[in-house]
């Protein structure tokens, strides 16, 4: 089987745009959740979210990163993907001014991006114009900006990638599934390089309002937003929405070595399963999540005791966290208590379809840097959540192999395995 390595990373997130700022803030345990500024949320039960800000703390300004003509024809989820993709492409050595000889054959490169909802702010705006002013006032670019495949299409056009360009939609598992299926495309010989990950931007009145109606969002911490996302804590009361994009460049190992590429880690395995149980709730015993974990271990050729860290889905909802804990115990047995497990959503919020991409970036950096990220706000652990969740502050240590886990509405379970790359 062809082996696959990670050679480039790119990030847009509530705790930083760009790898350097982002990883510095992950290590420092910075929380990017605050009061919503994108719209007036004063009448909503949940009034907080993890919005993407420029690194100076001001509201996101696309003109700082992309040409105005691109901004006019793209939704936020596409913009985030393009910014992160360009960084990952450059990070892999493909965007350097003197790097033409290092560029892979365009037909042997592909794009596979996960997304949950698409351009929700475009949908909102166009529906308002339809109902307020009539169908003739719907903006002409509504459909091309809104539909979920447009992030992958825009990235392929921006970078000249001429192999496959696909979008994958499995709710909150979308980003992890995209990474896993991109791994398979390289393994089976359909590509040498894949740009993959996830992107999302749904912090709108429609998006927040819809999740409020599901009773899924935190409502008890509007005055203390940085305390709201508290995975595995007894006082958690729902997730906090985030946004952003996490992009990974995957490359066939020998292809990367021939060009002397920097290698972060090996992407060693992928496992996915379906609960076949409920539209929004995981199966109570964590059976589906456990199977995805076991499949990822098997695919990577890893034994449970080879794994040192799991980046958990960890949404901070009453239902998810104990079920995910059971899934880990079912997959790892007694060894589960020797694992470090953390939820970095406590810093970024839940970025939905982008979560798996962002958390794969974190997992790759954790393996390379030997750092276990923290779970913030874990003040009073739920008795049903009794693993080592790295509370409050991250720590250093050797990470031989790590897993990143995502669970999505509809019963989608997805896990990728990352391990140290051999010299």
Token code pair at residue 177:
């599934």
CA 417, 182, 67, 241 dihedral sign is negative
Does residue 46 register a pLDDT over 90? Answer: yes
Q: Does the active-site annotation cover 166?
A: no
Does residue 101 register a pLDDT over 50? Answer: no
Q: What is the distance between the alpha carbons of residues 307 and 202, in angstroms, rounded to a whole number?
A: 34
Residues 382, 321 contacting (CB under 8 angstroms) = yes
Give the tens place of pLDDT for each residue, 137-179: 999 999 999 999 999 999 999 999 999 999 999 999 999 999 9
Write down the pLDDT at residue 284. 86
Rounded to the nearest angstrom, the gap between the alpha carbon of residue 324 and the centroid of all alpha carbons in its chain is 17
Write down the pLDDT at residue 103. 75
Write down the pLDDT at residue 267. 98
Mean pLDDT over the full length of the chain:
96
Q: What is the distance between the alpha carbons of residues 388 and 410, in angstroms, rounded to a whole number?
A: 28
In 3D space, the residue among 357, 4, 8, 7 whose CA is nearest the CA of residue 186 turns out to be 4
Please name each of the domains of the chain with its CATH number: 4-265 (3.40.47.10), 271-419 (3.40.47.10)
Residues 169, 412 contacting (CB under 8 angstroms) = no
Residues 172, 313 contacting (CB under 8 angstroms) = yes
Q: What is the distance between the alpha carbons of residues 86 and 160, in angstroms, rounded to a whole number?
A: 12
> Rounded mean pLDDT of 96-100?
51
Write down the pLDDT at residue 1. 81
Q: Does the active-site annotation cover 392?
A: no
Number of residues in the chain: 423
Residues 327, 286 contacting (CB under 8 angstroms) = yes
Does residue 96 register a pLDDT over 80? Answer: no
Catalytic residue (choose from 166, 255, 313, 412): 313
DSSP state of 65: T
Residues 355, 178 contacting (CB under 8 angstroms) = no
Catalytic residue (choose from 166, 255, 350, 412): 350
Q: Does the active-site annotation cover 31?
A: no
> Rounded mean pLDDT of 47-65?
95
First to last CA, the chain: 18
Q: What is the distance between the alpha carbons of residues 199 and 188, in angstroms, rounded to a whole number?
A: 25
Q: How far is CA 251 from CA 81, 82, 266, 330, in A?
A: 19, 19, 9, 32
What is the pTM for the complete model shown?
0.97
Give the tens place of pLDDT for each residue, 234-246: 999 999 999 999 9
Give the tens place of pLDDT for each residue, 256-285: 999 999 999 999 999 999 999 999 888 888
Q: What is the distance between the alpha carbons of residues 173 and 407, in angstroms, rounded to a whole number?
A: 5
Q: How far is CA 175 from CA 48, 108, 330, 407, in A?
A: 23, 22, 24, 11
What is the phi/psi pair of residue 390, to 5°? 50, 65
Catalytic residue (choose from 172, 255, 385, 412): 172
């Amino acid at each position: 089987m062809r082996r696959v390595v990670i050679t480039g990373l790119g990030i847009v997130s509530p705790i930083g745009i760009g790898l350097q700022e982002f990883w510095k803030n992950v290590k420092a345990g910075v929380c990017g959740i605050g009061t919503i500024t994108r719209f007036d949320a004063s009448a909503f039960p949940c009034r907080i979210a993890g919005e993407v800000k420029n690194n100076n703390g001001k509201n996101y300004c696309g003109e700082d990163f992309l040409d105005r003509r691109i901004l006019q024809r793209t939704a936020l989820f596409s913009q985030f993907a393009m910014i992160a993709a360009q960084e990952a492409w450059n990070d892999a050595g493909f965007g350097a001014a003197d790097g033409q000889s290092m560029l892979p054959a365009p037909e042997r490169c592909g794009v596979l991006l996960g997304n949950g909802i698409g351009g929700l702010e475009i949908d909102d705006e166009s529906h308002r114009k339809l109902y307020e002013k009539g169908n003739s006032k719907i903006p002409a670019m509504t459909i091309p900006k809104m539909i979920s495949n447009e992030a992958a299409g825009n990235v392929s056009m921006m970078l000249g990638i001429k192999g496959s360009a696909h979008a994958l939609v499995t709710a909150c598992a979308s980003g992890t599934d995209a990474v896993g299926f991109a791994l398979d495309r390289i393994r089976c010989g359909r590509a040498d390089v894949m740009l993959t990950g996830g992107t999302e931007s749904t912090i709108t009145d429609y998006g927040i309002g819809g999740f409020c109606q599901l009773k899924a969002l935190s409502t008890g911490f509007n005055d203390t937003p940085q305390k709201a996302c508290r995975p595995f804590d007894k006082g958690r009361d729902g997730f906090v929405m985030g946004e952003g994009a996490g992009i990974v460049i995957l490359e066939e190992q020998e292809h990367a070595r021939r060009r002397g590429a920097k290698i972060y880690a090996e992407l060693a395995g992928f496992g996915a399963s379906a609960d076949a149980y409920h539209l929004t709730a995981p199966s109570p015993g964590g059976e589906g999540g456990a199977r995805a974990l076991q499949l990822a271990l098997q695919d990577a050729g890893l034994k449970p005791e080879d794994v040192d860290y799991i980046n958990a889905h960890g949404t901070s909802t009453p239902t998810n966290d104990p079920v995910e804990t059971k899934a880990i115990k079912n997959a790892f047995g007694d060894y589960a208590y020797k694992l470090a497990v953390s939820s970095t959503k406590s810093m970024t919020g839940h970025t939905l379809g982008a979560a798996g991409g962002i958390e794969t970036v974190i997992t790759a950096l954790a393996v390379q840097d030997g750092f276990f990220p923290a779970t913030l706000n874990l003040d009073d652990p739920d008795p049903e959540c009794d693993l080592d969740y790295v509370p409050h502050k991250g720590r250093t240590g050797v990470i031989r192999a790590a897993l990143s886990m995502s669970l999505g509405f509809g019963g989608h379970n997805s896990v990728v395995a990352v391990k140290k790359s051999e010299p």
